[in-house]
A and B are shown apart, each in its own frame.
Chain A
Amino acid sequence: MLEAFNFRVLFDYLPLFLRGLWATAWISAVSLVGALVVGIAACGGRLSRFPMLSRCAGAYIEAIRSTPLLAQIYFLYFGLPTLGFRLPEYQTGILALSLNSGAYMAEIIRAGVLSVSRGQIEAGLAFGLSYFQRMRYIVLPQALGITIPPLLGQAIVLVKDSALLSLISVFELTRAGQIITSERFMPAEGFFTTALLYLGVYYALKAFSSWWQKRLIYVQAI
């Protein structure tokens, strides 16, 4: 199998793969920021005292978690134009990824916020801190510690999920593999290289995650 592996072609297509990797990186980064915003908003809604808001946020989270990302991508890709929004493919893709990951992040953040014990918040209330002060100085610093590792795990999922955007003709890493397959009919060269580059991103994010966790334990020990 390996003797048939054509490294020359890889060399020819290297710039394409690097552009694909770069596209995957920035699309994931932008979607990650979007997902955090969506996640914090949805979590805030879920935990709010207004039943209407809480129920809406809950319905959104459950709907996203019970349906596949690919169906969500197609929903926006084919659905937005009928509503009169003609977005470029990559914007639709980033929107879909943010909305999808946001729901999972909302749950992660909620678990973090709920892990802060009731007594802490009551103590904050007793000191006469406002809602924002309680959040800023009591709840979030403690919640953040335990949410960062699962959030990084979700970031890894997000990078892998961004591969699905190639199906609505967004140019990124998987698309580069598809291009080499259709132009030269060399799927092995195309998709193994693609897989290898994804593995690189995966290990980098994992290393960052474990470094962060170690640092966190160290900080908590002080």
Chain B
Amino acid sequence: MSMWLFYLERLIQAFPFFLKGLWMTVAVSGLSLILGTLLGFAAGIARASRVKVLGFLLFAYVDFMRGTPFLVQVFIVFFILPEWGLHLSAFKAATVSLTFYAGAYICEIVSGGISAVPPGQMEAAKASGLTWVQRMRYVIMPQAMKTILPPLVGQYVLLIKDSSVVSVIGVTDVTRVGWFTVQRIPEGLMVFGLVGLLYFVVCYPLIRVSNALEKKLRTDSHGL
């Protein structure tokens, strides 16, 4: 019991490192979240508008990202790109792999949301003489966002959780700090309990937001 208290004290001393790790987790997932959202929206709109040349490429990209484990994708970016002359630091490799990973799922969410908009809306917008950009900006996207938003926030939660995997290529995020700490403080439950708690603090509010959005937007659409 005294041993346990001793380790708890040392864990509290190590707490600043955990906060640094949490900052790294937030930084790497925040950056990939922004880039992945841009990529996902571009790809999703292209997919929904049936750009022929891109069709097959997008299909292959999304299927590859969805059909293989994220860990394998991280290894591909980190170990294989250098062989082709593209050297990335651990942080950059992590951002690249997380961005492409999230982009594929967001592409699916966005193209799904756009195709959920009744086709009559697009036809009416065309008949009104709006350009493609205007149709997208003022008619399609505002309606599609209702279906897109809740799963999008859910995807952000998945992104933050999956960012723990990049700890294996040397990004010092919370998970890696925990992995280092457990070598010196051999109380796995305590150390990874703390790691879990820190993720919980970030993810749980987002899950609640996603649920609330789903409820709110669902009741909204009944009024339409």
Q: Measuring CB to CB, which residues of chain A are less than 8 angstroms from any residue of chain B?
A: 1, 4, 62-63, 65-72, 74-83, 160-164, 166-167, 174, 177-178, 181, 187-188, 191-192, 194-195, 198-199, 202-203
Q: List 30 A-B contacts (CB under 8 A).
A: A66-B199, A66-B203, A67-B203, A68-B175, A68-B199, A70-B167, A71-B164, A71-B195, A72-B196, A74-B182, A74-B192, A75-B195, A78-B189, A79-B188, A79-B192, A82-B186, A82-B188, A82-B189, A160-B69, A161-B69, A162-B69, A164-B165, A177-B72, A187-B80, A188-B80, A195-B68, A195-B73, A198-B67, A198-B69, A203-B67
Listed residue (B162, B174, B192, B195) with the most chain A CB atoms within 10 angstroms of its CB = B192
Are A67's CB and B188's CB within 8 A? no
What 0/1 pattern do residues 174 to 218 of B give for CB contact below 8 A with A? Answer: 110011001000111101110110011001100100000000000
Are A75's CB and B196's CB within 8 A? yes
Contact residues on B (Cβ < 8 Å of other chain), bracket: 35 or more
Distance in angstroms between the alpha carbons of A15 and B168 in the assembled complex = 26
Known contacts A1-B84, A74-B175, A188-B83: does B76 contact A195 (CB below 8 Å)? yes
Are B79's CB and A191's CB within 8 A? yes
- B66: interface (CB < 8 Å): yes
Distance in angstroms between the alpha carbons of A72 and B174 in the assembled complex = 13
Q: What residues of chain B lie closer than 8 Å to A62, measured between beta carbons?
A: 204, 207
CB distance from B75 to the nearest CB of A (A): 5
- A-B contacts besides A69-B164, A160-B70, A162-B69, 20 pairs, CB < 8 Å: A62-B207, A67-B200, A68-B163, A71-B175, A74-B182, A75-B193, A79-B187, A79-B193, A82-B189, A161-B69, A163-B72, A167-B168, A174-B72, A177-B75, A187-B75, A187-B80, A198-B69, A202-B63, A202-B66, A202-B67
Q: What residues of chain B lie closer than 8 Å to A81, measured between beta carbons?
A: 188
CB distance from B59 to the nearest CB of A (A): 13
Q: What residues of chain B lie closer than 8 Å to A164, measured between beta carbons?
A: 69, 71, 165
Are A191's CB and B192's CB within 8 A? no
What 0/1 pattern do residues 55 to 94 of B give for CB contact below 8 A with A? Answer: 0000000011011111111011001100110000000000
Known contacts A187-B79, A202-B67: does B161 contact A67 (CB below 8 Å)? yes
Q: What residues of chain B lie closer than 8 Å to A4, measured between beta carbons?
A: 83
Q: What residues of chain B lie closer than 8 Å to A202, measured between beta carbons?
A: 63, 66-68
Distance in angstroms between the alpha carbons of A166 and B69 in the assembled complex = 12
